[in-house]
Amino acid sequence: MTIIISNTNCGNSPKQAFLEAFNIAFAKADIKFLLEHVTSDITWIIIGDKRIEGIENFASELERMKSRKNERITHR
């Protein structure tokens, strides 16, 4: 289970807005969005578990994780 609680702000931070959108896409398993916003040479290190290199491996791992359902995404 993943719970994302985001802190709403005045909206003047494009980087923060992007990170929020990216994390929400991750929680919702929006693979299309995620793949459109990473480079082909991505390295994803899941601490204590594994290292995933390259966009194809990233996409494969996202597909494997897709079945995990998230219960709540909350905006504060």
Mind giving me the DSSP string for 2-61? -EEEE----S--HHHHHHHHHHHHHHTT-HHHHHHTS-TT-EEEETTTEEEESHHHHHHH
CA 76 and chain centroid, separation? 19
Closest C-alpha to 30, from 63, 71, 5: 63
Please report the pLDDT score of residue 11 as a whole number: 62
50-53 vs 43-46, strand pairing mode: antiparallel
Q: Is 75 helix (H, G, I), strand (E, B) or coil?
A: strand
What is the tally of structural domains in the chain? 1
Residue 2 pLDDT exceeds 60: no
Structural domain harbouring 49: 3-75
Q: Which CATH number does the domain housing residue 11 bear?
A: 3.10.450.50
The 10s digit of each residue's pLDDT in 14-40 is 888 888 889 888 888 899 999 999 999
